[in-house]
Structures are given as C-alpha cells and as structure tokens.
Structure 1
C-alpha cells in the first residue's frame, strides 16, 4: 500500500488524524479516540524516509534530518487535503496528519448556531474562534469564510501555516498566503496584508504580541479580522490576549479589545447521544455595551 492509498483508506474509516511511526501499524483517531489499525501493515523506516523526502523535497528533508520540525499541507485529489507535521523521534521520521475535507461544509451541516451568520455580516472589528486542539476551530472558520465568499463582495486575505481549506473565488476575491512559502511570519504577512486592499483578514493563529498588536491595528482601521486562540471560553480568551502583553499595556489593550471585538465563538466537540460521531457544543459571546464596559474594566 503506497502513501496515497494509505491516506484514502484512513479517510474511508472516518479518521480525523493519522499517526505514522517506523515499525508500527498506522494509528488513527476516530471521533476523538486513537485506534491501532491491526489489519494494516506496519510502516517501515525506509517508507517513512522516502515519504518524507517526497513530501518535503531535498532542502527541507535535510533540514528535518538536522532536527527541524516541518509543517506542510498535501492534497490527494478526490479525498481532500492533509495538514502534516513531520518530525524526528530518536532519529526516526514520524508524521501526524490531519484530514481536511475537500468540500467546505455549510453551517447547517456542522450544526453551528445561526448567530454565526450575523457575525459574518460585520464590516469591521475582530471575531475570534477558540477551543482546544481538535475542537473544530479550522472547520468553523472555513465555513465562516465560505459564507462570506458566497454573500459579500470583498477581498479576503488569509495568512495560514499551512493553508488548510482551499477557497476559490465566488463573490469575493481570495488571496491565501502560507507562512514559510509566501511570507516569513504571521506579523510580516499581516503588515503586508494591510497594503493589499483587504476587507477581511484571516490570521491562522495569533501566537505572539507582535502579531496580536498588528491584528488589533487592522481591526481598528476598518478591516474585519478573524483568528483563533487555544482557550476554553470567552472570559479566558480576553484574559489570554491581555496576558500576552507587558503589564504596563493592560489598560491600552483592554480599551482596544473593548472597541474592536465583535464576537468570540468558543467550541468543543462532544459525542452525539447516539454515539455516531461528534457535534460542536458552542458558546458565542456577542458584544453589547455591558460586555464592552466589562472588558475595559
């Protein structure tokens, strides 16, 4: 079984993630649980190294073998895209792959609340989608962008590491940029985006104060900024952002957040009552005068 056949087989088994390690059978995550695939052959060290070389190319493969971890996206026609992290573990190549469906599901298929459509109509400010790893943040953001793409006439710039869901132009013009390939960092790409006549900017993740500062500036200057954070709820989200900055900036950041945030969507995936798959449990904080005042204080 070659690499693409293995990916196809895992998708057939409803796997969200695939773990590959030398000398072990493939391990998949189905509805949140890891399962060893005893009916599939173990992957060899040679298979892992050859696959890594094919995916990465010689220069990035050599960097991998010198201890760098590699992130990339890979497309299998008819199956979808895969977000891949390749790394070394005691000298052996390992990989973890996350399946990204080929087609972007609409809100109703994802069982998301209708209030998200209202958020997607905002013209400026910041919308944050939060949750733990594997909670469906990327899929929710993709559905929101697709809704905007179908209903608005705007320029959407996405900054991702790597590009996950691929959006074609519908009513909007979409520019999808990948860190490492199209720009060197989120902060640099975000600054550049402000010179690219954007209406909507998606930042895959705000990992540092510099990126957050530029994102707040973008939201303040009339753009709609969407991003994610690894937080559990709206209150923790606000506190996490404030904690990124030095203490002497707290009042300033609170004032900026209270002015620009339009909504915080916090979600986790829970098992359905019938045990057949998972659905999102979603908390949405919509900004009101009282909420903005609470953030400022």
Structure 2
C-alpha cells in the first residue's frame, strides 16, 4: 500500500470521516458530519494508478477500459475496513472510499429500538430499512443481523455489494456472499440462497423488480428477509415498490405485502456541531396497517403512524420540506 494513500486512510479514520474522495493530482477530500473538508495531502497520477492496480479484481481492466465502474470491498488489517468505488472523470482515475467502522454498533448505540431484531426473529417476513445514500442503512442492517446471530442458533445468508462488516462472537452460522464474486445478481442470489438452508436472508440492496419479487416470495415461504431500498418514508417506499409492477399485478402484490411485510424503518442522519443524530420513522405492519396496504390507502399511513405509537411506531422527529 502506498504510504501517501495509507496516510489518507488513517487520517480520515482518525477524523471520524464517513467518506474519502480521491482524484489524480488533487488533494483528498473527507466527508465529516455531512460536510466536505480538504486534506493537505494530494494523490499523484502514479499513486492512483498503483492503487487501482493493487485493488482491481480479475477482469477489472476490461470493465474500466469499457467505461464501466466497479464497486469493491477493500480491507486493510492495519487500517480497518473500507468500501471503495473506482471510476474515471475526464479520463482521470478517481476513487470514493467509505470508511467502515471497526465494530458493528448495537441497536441501542445507534439510537434504534432493541425490539427490531426480536420482530425479525418472531414474525420473519419482509423487514426493510430505507433511506438515502449515506443514511446508515448498511450499519443498521449489520446491527440487526449481529444481534440475531449473537442470540440464536440460526443460519443467515447475506447478499452484499460488496461485503462490508466482519462479525464475531456469533452463536449462529453466517454465510456472507459478495456480488460479482459469489453470485451474479440479487435476484439469482436470492433464489440460490433458498436452496442453501437459510433461516434468514440479509439483502444489501433491493434494486430491481426481479430482486423485489424474489424477496417477497422468500418472505412468503417463511424465511426472514432483511433488506434495504433507496427510498424515504413508509408511504413513499410502498408507492415506489408498487410502481415497479404492472397494473394488473398490483392488487395481488398489495395482498402479498399486507400479509408478509414486517416493518419499514426509514432513517436519516442529522448533523450538528456537537453530534450526529440518527432520526428514524418506524412503520410496523399492524392489523390496521395490513388493511391500509391491501386497499392501497398509503396516504393514510402518516396518521396511522401517529396513532400507533403505543405499538412502537414512530414518526420522524425532523421533517424535511420534501417529506411533507
């Protein structure tokens, strides 16, 4: 590992940065509490080329020449764990690196309710964590997964792009699979996992209609499915999911979701000078929510969340204008 890049990684972790942006012949940039801060250290063309060569998996050169990008897991024992995406800008090599925490925080440490993992264990079904990029979805998924595996002798299979966290001290069995290395696509990965004796599946991101159909079917078959979607709020997430289906399919899909959806946890990070706060909305699929989903009355969900506080539901503390 080049000493300059090693220094950047160490400095970013020491400053509590969530991301690092590196470009040829430019100073590295850190994202700290949502804001960008420029480092004093720049990365040369030769250093970026060596970094690319060191990190590229088999077949990466062909993809890069063709103009594609590649997301990959990059781990260094002495520095901790990182997630990197390599790409080009105006013909110059660039990398955006996510700094992964050395330890998976507990749900309590994240500021999330402890009963989430119990709900996954007891009800199984489809449990979703939603939010924008950088809202901590992967960390919350890992926290729920670790809590389950530390308490129960179950087999969990994860489908990730790329594999991020390392787990330890588990009572259960964990099989981590990485996109591009262990499976070709999330839809295929879900179907294959169902033949690998899972109790639970953790899906890093449900991106396509095929993956969504496979996840709903797996939940319907009695498996516990935990996955993430780029969305915000329960009502918007359900609307987005339904919009992926043909009109003639929607009534049946609403029925499937009403029966098999467990919860939707929507989250975002609120930054201040002194701290980073995780704000969340929790939709729990109660009897009244089941009817609402089945009948497609998503506009009523916000009011039902307010009425469902005694059942553990919660609305966002901080409401953005675009979420009104």
Q: Distance in 1 between matches of 2:129 and 2:58?
A: 36
| Alignment check: 8 A CA contact 1:125 1:220 kept | yes
Residues 216, 169 of structure 1: alpha-carbon distance in 2 compared, 3 angstrom cutoff: farther
| 2:212 corresponds to 1:212 | yes
Q: Distance in 1 between matches of 2:144 and 2:7?
A: 31
Question: Once the 2 structures are TM-superposed, how far is the Cα of residue 293 of structure 1 from its aligned partner?
Answer: 0.4
- Secondary structure of residue in 2 paired with 1:292: helix
Aligned positions of 1:185-196 closer than 5 A: 185-196=185-196
Q: Distance in 1 between matches of 2:81 and 2:262?
A: 31
Residues 241, 147 of structure 1: alpha-carbon distance in 2 compared, 3 angstrom cutoff: same
Aligned positions of 1:118-129 closer than 5 A: 118-129=118-129
Residues 68, 31 of structure 1: alpha-carbon distance in 2 compared, 3 angstrom cutoff: same
Question: Once the 2 structures are TM-superposed, how far is the Cα of residue 68 of structure 1 from its aligned partner?
Answer: 1.5
Higher relative contact order (CA 8 A, sep 6+): 1
| 2:156 corresponds to 1:156 | yes
| Alignment check: 8 A CA contact 2:117 2:145 kept | no
- Secondary structure of residue in 2 paired with 1:2: helix
Question: Once the 2 structures are TM-superposed, how far is the Cα of residue 227 of structure 1 from its aligned partner?
Answer: 0.5
Correspondence for 1:276 among 267, 274, 277: 274
- State the partner residue of 1:33: 35
Question: Once the 2 structures are TM-superposed, how far is the Cα of residue 119 of structure 1 from its aligned partner?
Answer: 2.2
- State the partner residue of 1:286: 284
Aligned positions of 1:1-297 closer than 5 A: 1-37=3-39, 39-40=40-41, 42-57=42-57, 59-168=59-168, 170-272=170-272, 275-297=273-295
Number of aligned pairs?
Answer: 293
Question: Once the 2 structures are TM-superposed, how far is the Cα of residue 65 of structure 1 from its aligned partner?
Answer: 2.8
Query: What TM-score does the superposition give when structure 2 sets the normalisation length?
Result: 0.87
Query: What TM-score does the superposition give when structure 1 sets the normalisation length?
Result: 0.95
- State the partner residue of 2:314: none
Q: Distance in 2 between matches of 1:67 and 1:258?
A: 42
State the Cα RMSD in Å. 1.4
Question: Once the 2 structures are TM-superposed, how far is the Cα of residue 287 of structure 1 from its aligned partner?
Answer: 1.2
Question: Once the 2 structures are TM-superposed, how far is the Cα of residue 193 of structure 1 from its aligned partner?
Answer: 0.4
| Alignment check: 8 A CA contact 2:5 2:43 kept | no
| Alignment check: 8 A CA contact 2:27 2:38 kept | yes
Unaligned runs of 5+ in 2: 296-324
Unaligned runs of 5+ in 1: none
Q: Distance in 1 between matches of 2:124 and 2:274?
A: 39
